Amino acid sequence: MTLRHATAQETADWDELVRASPGGMDLMQLPPYATIKAGAWARHHLMVHEHPGRPAVPALYLVKKVPPFGELWYAPMGPRVTEPEHVRAVCEDLRTVGAFAVILEPPVPADGPRARSELVADVPGLEEFLDLQQGHHTVLLDLRPTEDELLASFRQRARRSIRKSADAVIEHRTDDAAIEAFWQLYAPTVERAGFPLRPKDYYVTAWRLYRDLGQGHVVLARSSADVAEPEAAAFIWKHGHLGYYRDGGSVRTPSANGLQYRVQWESIRWCKEHGATTYDLYGAPPSWQADDPDHQLHGLVQFKTAFGPITDTVGTTRLVLDRRRTAAWDRFGRRVYARLTRARNPLFY
């Protein structure tokens, strides 16, 4: 088993290497995401895990320096391995990196909460951790069927809302004014849902970065031509065969009721027309908690499951490499650093 830094050629081909990994593409395993997170994580490593009889797996690790504890590593939505035995091999590779802990999010399929418990029980030092990303449980759409077949596969409430909003004005835009209009919808939507909101510059910088890479754009919707300002919107990320619904926002007015279904449908159509074969609605409760009104993402269930069923993976785990330092970090270190960095990074991770 080997863990090494990516070569210059592998770095140049990084996106394709991630796409070819067992778990496939995820935007958080690509260098632009490390650029976005640079304010919270000091640097990043592009590493390659090599194991006999298995394909080499590229992995982007973010690194946070937290003296006197040392380094904390994090592979957001990675490494892209899908089998528990492969996770074990990855963990063995990481035991010599010098960090006190490594946070891992491998896309190992889960059919219930026991899947993560069974995974960590099988790997020394691996433990369950709070989920840092919403995408461990999501709705994935196969875009290969025809538009008529896709529409017919949606639940009645989605089809009804899409038909009802047939007169909506839809714009696909990449200009700064569109990004600003999107922010004006996104921020109050996040606050209304009770989620923490980072500073505006964090989001705008990310949206512009993906826009400038030719991978992201804003979908703006008005319920009719008589409405002056956008009432619903989404930021769509597209890379190769994968389309992502990353962020969204809307107003609460009678005319905008159900308009987000139209936004999704137009986003799906656009991604399909531009070569995507999978569309990720990004973020839902675990399927086994879909009916739990106390789950933080419960408000998304009715909307997202109107397009398809929830797909689950095991979520976030943490590999403890130095128990003494990790215990001290958990006991008081993280709280101290979170307080020191709260102004620029209220979510810490």
Instruction: Check residue 195 and give its pLDDT.
Output: 86
For the chain, the first-to-last Cα distance in angstroms comes to 29
Instruction: Check residue 40 and give its pLDDT.
Output: 85
Instruction: Check residue 127 and give its pLDDT.
Output: 97
Positions of the chain with pLDDT lower than 70, given as ranges:
343-344, 346
For residues 157 and 224, give the distance between their C-alpha atoms in angstroms, rounded to a whole number.
20
Enumerate domains of the chain plus CATH numbers: 2-133+316-341 (3.40.630.30), 137-311 (3.40.630.30)
**Tokens read off for 154:** 């949606």
Separation in Å, CA 112 to CA 78, 173, 317: 20, 40, 15
- For helices 114-121 and 84-94, the axis angle rounded to 10 degrees is 50
- CA 275 from centre of chain: 21
Q: Are 25 and 60 in contact (CB under 8 A)?
A: no
Instruction: Check residue 133 and give its pLDDT.
Output: 93
Instruction: Check residue 295 and give its pLDDT.
Output: 86
- The one-letter amino acid code at 77 reads M
- Give φ, ψ of 65 to 5 degrees: -90, 125
Q: Are 225 and 170 in contact (CB under 8 A)?
A: no
User: Structure pTM?
Assistant: 0.94
What would the pLDDT profile of 148-194 be if each residue is shown by its tens digit?
Answer: 999 999 999 999 999 999 999 999 999 999 999 999 999 999 999 88
Instruction: Check residue 299 and give its pLDDT.
Output: 83
What would the pLDDT profile of 189-242 be if each residue is shown by its tens digit?
Answer: 999 988 888 899 999 999 999 999 999 999 999 999 999 999 999 999 999 999
For residues 224 and 222, give the distance between their C-alpha atoms in angstroms, rounded to a whole number.
5
Instruction: Check residue 341 and give its pLDDT.
Output: 78
